[in-house]
Chain A
Amino acid sequence: MKPTNIDNPEYFHKVIDCQYACPSHTPVPEYLRLITQGKYDEAYKVNWISNVFPGVLGRICDRPCEPACRRGRVEENPVAICRLKRVTYDYKSSDTSFVPAIPKKKNGKKIALVGGGPASLTVARDLLPLGYEIDLYDDQSKAGGFIRTQVPSFRLPEKVLNEEVDRIIEMGINTHFNHYVDSLKKIIDKNYDAIFIGTGAPRGRDLPDLPGREAGDSSIFIGIQWLAAILYRHITNAPDRVLVLGGGNTAMDCCRMAKRLGAQDVKVMVRSPREQMKASPWEIEDAIDEGIPIIDNHSPVEFVVKAGKLVGMHFQKVQVRYTNDGKKELVPLDAPPVFYPCDLVLLAVGQMNAFPYIEEDIGIEMNERGTPKLDKITHQSTVPHIFFGGDAAFGPRNVITAVAHGHEAAISIDIFCRGKDLHRRPAPKTSLLNQTMGMQEWLYDAKVTEDRRYAVPTVDRVKSLKNRLVEVELGFSKKTGHQESFRCLNCDVQTVFDHSTCIECDACVDICPESCINFIENASEEELRQNLTVAADNPAQALYVSDILPTGRVMVKDENVCLHCGLCAERCPTASWEMKKYTYNSAEAGDKIDEQD
């Protein structure tokens, strides 16, 4: 292999598994370290700059960082990154000096945001400090989008949401609430310099062709509409027996909400096997903990309506089979349909994009999936000054993805308004700082704790099932938060190797607890991966390869399960290994663009 180019900003970024996996690249280990030092304000700020809604995300984030976390490869469980984000919100002071100043003198550019969800709010937050004037249109009475109308209060209290949404509104957005945009043309005609569309994926899938659908209509709801109706108190209770159809997170919210509205017998009916359900494992766990059974491998056949009243549903038991070309098929078992009685059915079988307000003749091209044709990086549509982000861009995802889209779109809009090339984007801001303080002393806490993941305490179940407004999770105490953040392996503190001073004494090889380091004959990547002391069988993790050493060999380090314990550097007599903290901050709108090349 060729020697690794550690000057490539993405090389060490990739070693920070959590940050790399986070769509908006939150510097996770940095804020976890700040928690260990009790610096909650600073830890919150690191989050806010990157993910805009730390209090919200610390409760409801889809947390792609956690499955990625190195700790999960070293022992059983990753660091509770998400719940530690909540810790930064829960224990910060009331200080808001981290909010950037908004210039009195505007830059003369006007931007429209259609939809007021997390994507649009992120665009606003990024552009307001640069002097842009911003109009926001949303059909609801308050901003927040789906995290207000869909995500139940028992997972996300309104107070937290309000604080983080209002902070952005108060930066100076001209809001137009209760304003449904029924024609994009009308917005275009207002001559905005750029328009951002963040209207989400607002349509819940129905099962219109299932027999009995029409007759049972008064007792059949689309899940997301039902959840929104509860927020606005149009619906305040649920009947005794409820069936929820679907295996995603919406289904999990619907079933738990039904319990809180008085239903006694709630079941989730899923077509696929349990392991293939779309919902996050922790959401499924929470539902089961509340006494809700998940009935898998059941495909709906019909709504049974008697005397004008829905009395239950028939399901066909099915089995998964894969066709020769790897396609998944649900094959009915040779058995009669089974009957499940119920008084209410909630459909949570999918969510779709819908743009009824976008006229066909204004030049926004759509693709087969009903989403706009976009440049994946710039988020620009086929109409140059119109950009898309969040669920409206590539279909329904999650909040942190919406935020990441918002950042990219804000960068694009700023470049666009300055008349520059959208593809010449600002680079991430990086630095690599030596952590040596003295003999075996580092600026970071290199000790690796053996503590296993701490559980988040919850409120009394009886109490929480009585009131949909009671938040289930209590969050970590300061003490547990402190202990949990110490579980972080400091993956941002990099092992940096200098081949020119290495005397090949093997000290690092001998001390490394994880057998990461090897001095061997160079070969192709495939062969090298096999030839290491412990084969490097995780292709997602890089091999760090040095230049040729005096014995003709090369140093090869498998990054996979390195603990960042610093022992290699401690035992190196020539300081050929050094522990250096790599800081990677994603580019922000307004950052300088390197004009060379």
Chain B
Amino acid sequence: MTSTKPAFRHPKLAQNSLGLTRKDYEGAVSTLCAGCGHDSTTNAIIQACFELNIEPHRVAKMSGIGCSSKTPAYFLDRSHGFNAVHGRMPSIATGANMANRDLLYIGISGDGDTASIGMGQFAHALRRNLNLNYICMNNGCYGLTKGQDSATADMGSTGKRGIPNPYASIDLCELAIELGASYVARGFSGDKKQLVPLIKGAFAHSGLAFIDVISPCVTFNNTSTSTKSYEYVREHIEATNTFDFIPLQREILTDYAEGTTQEVIMHDGSIIHLHKVDSKEDVTNRLNSVNKLEEEKAKGRLLTGLLYVNQQIRETHDILNTSLRPLNSLTENDLCPGNTELQKINDSLR
């Protein structure tokens, strides 16, 4: 697609507390297929960043290879970014994060990039609970290489190629819970009402926040026989819970009747209110969360929403007890404390 987007925007476009409009969070015009779920997911990220008053220069976008991994070009064009090789987004993000813990990290990957070639990297980022917002745009296929079944394609699901997938699928959310992620959610690109708050919650969370976004590939996997098509997903979607995301800055205006909500306080002080009317499940209980996912799967339903959150798990920096300051801010004095300090250390070892 060659068209450029006009520079004009709605004269009454809302501004956030930084005086920025949504336009300030946009990127280049997408070159993905018209109707691609990834574009909607991209726009949900833009919306979340806008609503959270995130300063674009405080963000680093990392990705691997795939249509999904191309999307960082389409949002936050004033942010930092690195496009890694296939499946290697987590290691690049880990390195960057270790060097500068002050930035907000968005890792974009696909189901191919994550569940096939990048599986090893994915597993260890989870295990270390890296402070990263890991968004997997999951379309059940390798979109960029013309739609081969990926490891998240359901058994029997049939894309444009016409041959049913013979393997069982990997549930990335279950895996993430199991391997140590501290915030796990699933959304659908076609439902921004749910997806935007899920992303906002992830941004407020400290530790690895994994969001599996079902994001249909219109060109290769939107057939009536595919379980990752717009139509199928809409028909089989099941929301765990609805919730309100209350950022730290905003005063809490809503009154919740006692016992009707579960309150999760995020590290940055934001609060997530889960409405219990929709679900009796405790999302901070790992066993519960995995069970619920399995139960719904057995019923042929696809569970979405905030699936698991645990504020107790320490993120990588805390585990490693690293410097509280980004490495680029450490001066010679910090790094070479001088002879007196050296003597002290030497003495302690005598």
**Known contacts A570-B34, A571-B35; is-contact A561 B11 (Cβ 8 Å):** yes
**Known contacts A570-B3, A571-B34; is-contact A513 B9 (Cβ 8 Å):** yes
Cβ of A74 to closest chain B Cβ, rounded Å: 5
Q: Are B230 and A504 in contact (CB under 8 A)?
A: yes
**Known contacts A510-B43, A535-B12, A567-B5; is-contact A504 B34 (Cβ 8 Å):** no
Q: Is A6 interfacial (CB-CB < 8 Å)?
A: no
Q: Is B139 interfacial (CB-CB < 8 Å)?
A: no
Which residues of A lie under 8 Å from residue B256 when comparing CB positions? none
Q: Are A507 and B8 in contact (CB under 8 A)?
A: no
Contact pattern, A 457-498, Cβ under 8 Å of B = 1, otherwise 0 = 000000000000000000000000000000000000000000
Tally of B interface residues using CB under 8 Å = 35
Q: Are B190 and A513 in contact (CB under 8 A)?
A: no
Q: Which of B4, B13, B39, B218 contacts A515 (CB 8 A)?
A: B13
Q: Is B18 interfacial (CB-CB < 8 Å)?
A: no
Contact pattern, A 562-591, Cβ under 8 Å of B = 1, otherwise 0 = 010101001111100000000000000000
Q: Are B10 and A561 in contact (CB under 8 A)?
A: yes
Q: Are A565 and B6 in contact (CB under 8 A)?
A: yes
Which residues of B lie under 8 Å from residue A507 when comparing CB positions? 34-36, 39-40
Q: Are A511 and B35 in contact (CB under 8 A)?
A: no
Q: Is A534 interfacial (CB-CB < 8 Å)?
A: yes
Beta-carbon contacts under 8 Å, B300-349 to A:
none
A570 to B35, CA, bound (A): 10
A511 to B234, CA, bound (A): 22
Cβ of B163 to closest chain A Cβ, rounded Å: 23
Q: Are B42 and A515 in contact (CB under 8 A)?
A: no
Q: Are A73 and B11 in contact (CB under 8 A)?
A: yes
**Known contacts A507-B34, A534-B13; is-contact A514 B3 (Cβ 8 Å):** no
Q: Is A450 interfacial (CB-CB < 8 Å)?
A: yes
Beta-carbon contacts under 8 Å, B19-74 to A:
22, 29-30, 33-37, 39-40, 42-43
Q: Are A514 and B9 in contact (CB under 8 A)?
A: yes
A450 to B8, CA, bound (A): 8
Q: Is B238 interfacial (CB-CB < 8 Å)?
A: no
Q: Are B6 and A448 in contact (CB under 8 A)?
A: yes
Contact pattern, B 85-118, Cβ under 8 Å of A = 1, otherwise 0 = 0000000000000000000000000000000000
Cβ of A264 to closest chain B Cβ, rounded Å: 45
User: Nearest residue in A to B229 (C-beta to C-beta)?
Assistant: A503
Q: Is B253 interfacial (CB-CB < 8 Å)?
A: no
Q: Is A550 interfacial (CB-CB < 8 Å)?
A: yes
**Known contacts A561-B11, A572-B34; is-contact A440 B3 (Cβ 8 Å):** yes
Q: Are B8 and A503 in contact (CB under 8 A)?
A: no
Q: Are B10 and A573 in contact (CB under 8 A)?
A: no
Which residues of A lie under 8 Å from residue B3 when comparing CB positions? 440, 446-447, 567, 570
Q: Is A551 interfacial (CB-CB < 8 Å)?
A: yes
Q: Is B227 interfacial (CB-CB < 8 Å)?
A: no
User: Nearest residue in A to B231 (C-beta to C-beta)?
Assistant: A503
**Known contacts A550-B234, A573-B218; is-contact A513 B35 (Cβ 8 Å):** no
Q: Which of B34, B43, B234 contacts A551 (CB 8 A)?
A: B234
Q: Are A505 and B40 in contact (CB under 8 A)?
A: yes
Cβ of B159 to closest chain A Cβ, rounded Å: 15
User: Nearest residue in B to A573 (C-beta to C-beta)?
Assistant: B35
Q: Are A534 and B14 in contact (CB under 8 A)?
A: yes
A571 to B35, CA, bound (A): 6
Which residues of A lie under 8 Å from residue B10 when comparing CB positions? 514-516, 534, 561
A447 to B189, CA, bound (A): 29
Q: By DSSP majority rule, is chain B's interface helix, strand, loop, or mixed?
A: loop
Q: Are A534 and B8 in contact (CB under 8 A)?
A: no
Which residues of A lie under 8 Å from residue B22 when comparing CB positions? 515
Q: Are A505 and B9 in contact (CB under 8 A)?
A: no
Tally of A interface residues using CB under 8 Å = 34
Which residues of A lie under 8 Å from residue B13 when comparing CB positions? 515, 534
User: Nearest residue in B to A75 (C-beta to C-beta)?
Assistant: B8
A73 to B11, CA, bound (A): 8
Q: Is B192 interfacial (CB-CB < 8 Å)?
A: yes
Cβ of B177 to closest chain A Cβ, rounded Å: 29
Q: Are B35 and A574 in contact (CB under 8 A)?
A: yes
Q: Which of A447, A505, A514, A563 contacts B218 (CB 8 A)?
A: A505
Q: Is B216 interfacial (CB-CB < 8 Å)?
A: yes
Which residues of B lie under 8 Å from residue A510 when comparing CB positions? 39-40, 42-43
Which residues of A lie under 8 Å from residue B29 when comparing CB positions? 511
A226 to B39, CA, bound (A): 68
Which residues of A lie under 8 Å from residue B42 when comparing CB positions? 510
User: Nearest residue in A to B46 (C-beta to C-beta)?
Assistant: A510
Cβ of B42 to closest chain A Cβ, rounded Å: 7
Which residues of B lie under 8 Å from residue A561 when comparing CB positions? 8, 10-11
Q: Is B298 interfacial (CB-CB < 8 Å)?
A: no
Q: Are B8 and A448 in contact (CB under 8 A)?
A: yes
Q: Is B1 interfacial (CB-CB < 8 Å)?
A: yes
Which residues of B lie under 8 Å from residue A74 when comparing CB positions? 8, 11
Q: Is B7 interfacial (CB-CB < 8 Å)?
A: yes
Q: Is B17 interfacial (CB-CB < 8 Å)?
A: no
Which residues of B lie under 8 Å from residue A514 when comparing CB positions? 8-10
Q: Is B2 interfacial (CB-CB < 8 Å)?
A: yes
Q: Is A506 interfacial (CB-CB < 8 Å)?
A: yes
Which residues of B lie under 8 Å from residue A511 when comparing CB positions? 5, 29-30, 39
Which residues of A lie under 8 Å from residue B1 when comparing CB positions? 440, 570
Q: Are B6 and A503 in contact (CB under 8 A)?
A: no
User: Nearest residue in A to B2 (C-beta to C-beta)?
Assistant: A440
Q: Is A537 interfacial (CB-CB < 8 Å)?
A: yes
**Known contacts A440-B2, A440-B3, A567-B3; is-contact A505 B11 (Cβ 8 Å):** no
A137 to B42, CA, bound (A): 71
A75 to B11, CA, bound (A): 8
A515 to B33, CA, bound (A): 20
Q: Are A505 and B43 in contact (CB under 8 A)?
A: no
Cβ of A135 to closest chain B Cβ, rounded Å: 54
Q: Are A450 and B40 in contact (CB under 8 A)?
A: no
**Known contacts A447-B4, A505-B190; is-contact A573 B34 (Cβ 8 Å):** yes
Cβ of B141 to closest chain A Cβ, rounded Å: 16
A563 to B4, CA, bound (A): 13
A571 to B8, CA, bound (A): 18
Contact pattern, B 207-238, Cβ under 8 Å of A = 1, otherwise 0 = 00000000010100010000000110010000
Which residues of B lie under 8 Å from residue A448 when comparing CB positions? 6-8
Beta-carbon contacts under 8 Å, A24-70 to B:
none
A75 to B8, CA, bound (A): 8
A510 to B37, CA, bound (A): 11
Beta-carbon contacts under 8 Å, B139-169 to A:
none
Beta-carbon contacts under 8 Å, B183-223 to A:
189-190, 192, 216, 218, 222
Which residues of A lie under 8 Å from residue B190 when comparing CB positions? 504-506
Cβ of A514 to closest chain B Cβ, rounded Å: 5
- Apart from A514-B10, A567-B5: 13 A-B pairs, beta carbons within 8 A: A446-B3, A447-B4, A450-B7, A504-B234, A505-B36, A505-B230, A506-B39, A507-B40, A510-B42, A513-B5, A514-B8, A572-B34, A573-B34
A-B contact pairs, 19 of them (CB 8 A): A73-B11, A74-B8, A75-B8, A450-B6, A504-B190, A505-B35, A505-B218, A505-B230, A506-B43, A507-B35, A510-B39, A510-B43, A534-B14, A550-B231, A561-B8, A561-B10, A565-B6, A567-B6, A573-B218
**A contact residues vs B (CB 8 Å cutoff):** 73-75, 440, 446-448, 450, 503-507, 509-511, 513-516, 534-535, 537, 550-551, 561, 563, 565, 567, 570-574
**B contact residues vs A (CB 8 Å cutoff):** 1-14, 22, 29-30, 33-37, 39-40, 42-43, 189-190, 192, 216, 218, 222, 230-231, 234
**Complex A-B, nearest 9 residue pairs according to Cβ-Cβ distance, in ascending order:** A573-B35, A448-B6, A510-B43, A506-B40, A571-B34, A505-B35, A573-B218, A573-B34, A534-B10
